[in-house]
Amino acid sequence: MSKKKETKYIFVTGGVLSSLGKGIASASIATLLKKAGLKVSILKADPYINVDPGTMSPFEHGEVFVTDDGAETDLDLGHYERFLDENLSQNNNFTTGKVYSSVIEKERKGEYLGKTIQVIPHIVNEIVERIKKAGEGNDVLIVEIGGTVGDIEGLPFLEAIRAMRVELGRFDTINVHLTLVPYIKAAGELKTKPTQHSVGELRRIGISPDMIICRSEMPLNRELKDKIASSCGVEKRCVIESPDSRSIYKIPLLFLQQDVLTPISEMLNLGELKVDMSEWDSLVKRVIAPTNSVKIAFVGKYLDLKESYKSLTEALIHAGANLDTRVEIKWCDSERIHEDNVEEHLKNIDGILVAGGFGSRGVEGKMEAIKYARINNIPYLGICLGMQLAMIEFAKNILKIEDANSAEFNVDTKNPIIYLIDEFIDNSGKKQIRTRKSPLGGTMRLGGYNCNIKKDSLLSKAYGGAKTVRERHRHRYEANPKYREQFEQKGLIVSGESDGLIEAIELKNHPFFIGVQFHPEFTSRLTNPNPIIVSFIDAALKNIR
Ligand code: GLN
């Protein structure tokens, strides 16, 4: 009988405050381990109560990242995929809400045989089971615990990792704790006290860190690192610094320079780990100091919240690194763009991008920008809502359908260029019914779908002649095939389809005007950029006048 592969666990916790970059630190360690030849996966365990981030406002939570299997997940999963170049799944992210829902469901079914259901053991066991499930088949699973040590809702998660450490013992788990080492300007000093307090808090729960990663805006000298090591009870070589960097993709390289893999490998008994980061290194050089540069107008709302477009801005960086080009983004608030000032906003721009979005706010301005790109032969990429609006603009101004609209903005529109279909097959093969009256709640088309590409189209060129590609969706509305013939007669053709659904459109007689119903940014990785986004940036480069 073959022995089941033992998974090693690296638990990553955070202290002092949030937004220190735990996700990037976790993804960086994962990347180094993968490059060393190990099978690595990552899990984000989020202590908040929402069942998933799907319904959370971008003001609350930044972007909702969509996995290939259609889960709406935390934006950190996006970082993991972009670093690791692996598809993750719904098993790679769970929240307190998910944990409680399944425990309550089991309780209702009588699976606990009438026992009193408690946080310890039932909730904690459920968390442990989910962690183990995500670890199955991997050499190493990195488990990032969301939030900060000391948060009330984080306690069951920390108890779960404490219990796993006891159960699995030495060589199978380590804890990496990320903290802030603030620089106090007035004193001209870096301060270690918050780190000591945070480790003290972790200890109180029964977890001693094995490695401490220190975020700081200044380099840490040896003396300071040694002080952290002795006061927090970790080995000196296990105090790693994570300074502010010009690119998040530089972090794995900075960790490697500090020889982070040696103690990890020794503590987890992983054997000698050799990594080749030369390809990564040269991409990072081209992210930081590329030869060329292009200016892309990003026309949208929520521009004060760039985090909600994280995957897209990262995808632009990936495409840029690939083309040795800096992609400079000019953020254009669509609510301020009107017919009489569109030129002012968009002159000297090499490409125009309208990204996904919900609701009617700002759509007029977006359509002005699209019209400007169409008429002036400026490369245009419309993503999801950006494709839908390109079709509405064309219907209004070229097909002369004056009241052309989306059912999202006017349910009773006489000309729903974009409409709500009644039913569709989701990516697990289940039939989903959506009704006009209740378009909300679990009725979005989510996750990866195959798209068949029209031969000799711009899209086909972008994908290097591929006949079928797989891209991810997150939307409710669809382009209405009723108008297809009219569009095609006037030069706006359908270049991507799946099961009769219109997935991509493009303009004939335009250097680059593509709209896609899916989100190409979700599949873009530093070492494997999305082809449409690369060809959009390439077209923008060629357009430099
Ligand atoms: N609001 C549109 C829809 O639901 C587009 C969504 C999006 O851009 N992600 O279909």
Measure 86 CA to ligand 1 centroid, in angstroms.
26
Tell me the fold of 8-282.
Rossmann fold (3.40.50)
pLDDT digits (tens, 9 = 90+) for 466-490: 999 999 999 999 999 999 999 999 9
Q: Does the pLDDT of residue 255 top 90, yes or no? A: yes
Length of the chain: 545
Residues 6 or more apart in contact with residue 461 via CB below 8 angstroms: 535
Measure 462 CA to ligand 1 centroid, in angstroms.
23
Nearest of 505, 543, 521, 519 to residue 390 by alpha carbon: 505
> So what's the pLDDT on residue 434?
61
Residue nearest atom 8 of ligand 1, based on CA coordinates: 356
Sign of CA dihedral 306, 308, 310, 312: negative
Confidence of residue 444 (pLDDT cuts 50, 70, 90): confident
pLDDT digits (tens, 9 = 90+) for 339-393: 999 999 999 999 999 998 888 899 999 999 999 999 999 999 999 999 999 999 9
Would 8-282 and 290-544 be classified into the same CATH topology? yes
Parse the chain into domains and list their residue ranges: 8-282, 290-544
> So what's the pLDDT on residue 1?
43
Q: Does the pLDDT of residue 323 top 70, yes or no? A: yes
Tokens of 479: 């382009």
Query: What's the chain's average pLDDT?
Result: 92
Cα–Cα distance for residue pair 537/148, rounded to 1 Å: 39
- Ligand 1 atom nearest residue 408's Cα: 1
Domain 290-544 has CATH 3.30.499.10: no
**CB of 80 closer than 6 angstroms to any ligand 1 atom:** no
Cα torsion 329, 332, 334, 404 to 10°: value is -50
Residue nearest atom 5 of ligand 1, based on CA coordinates: 385
- Ligand 1 atom nearest residue 357's Cα: 8
Q: Cis (ω within 30 of 0) for the bond into 121?
A: yes
169 a known binding residue? no
Residue with tokens 């079914």: 109
Q: Does the pLDDT of residue 544 top 70, yes or no? A: no
Residue with tokens 């960097």: 245
Measure 391 CA to ligand 1 centroid, in angstroms.
13
Confidence of residue 265 (pLDDT cuts 50, 70, 90): very high
Most distant CA pair in the chain, distance: 75
> So what's the pLDDT on residue 51?
83
Measure 408 CA to ligand 1 centroid, in angstroms.
9
pLDDT digits (tens, 9 = 90+) for 61-75: 678 899 999 988 888
Tokens of 543: 């357009």
76 a known binding residue? yes
387 a known binding residue? yes
* Residues paired with 423 in a beta bridge: 433
**CB of 408 closer than 6 angstroms to any ligand 1 atom:** yes
**CB of 385 closer than 6 angstroms to any ligand 1 atom:** yes
Give CA 13 to chain center in angstroms. Answer: 20
CB 487 within 8 A of CB 417: no
**CB of 477 closer than 6 angstroms to any ligand 1 atom:** yes
DSSP 2: P
Residue with tokens 């934006």: 75
* Residues paired with 326 in a beta bridge: 293
Give CA 355 to chain center in angstroms. Answer: 15
Cα–Cα distance for residue pair 119/537, rounded to 1 Å: 51
Cα–Cα distance for residue pair 170/174, rounded to 1 Å: 8
Confidence of residue 19 (pLDDT cuts 50, 70, 90): confident
Which DSSP string do the residues of 466-525 spell out, in sequence order?
Answer: -SEEEEEEEES-EE-GGGHHHHHHTTEEEEEEETTEEEEEEETTSSSEEEESSBGGGG-B
Nearest of 159, 170, 83, 95 to residue 130 by alpha carbon: 95
Q: Does the pLDDT of residue 432 top 80, yes or no? A: no
CA angle 294, 299, 303 (to 5 degrees): 105
| Catalytic residue ranges | 384, 519, 521
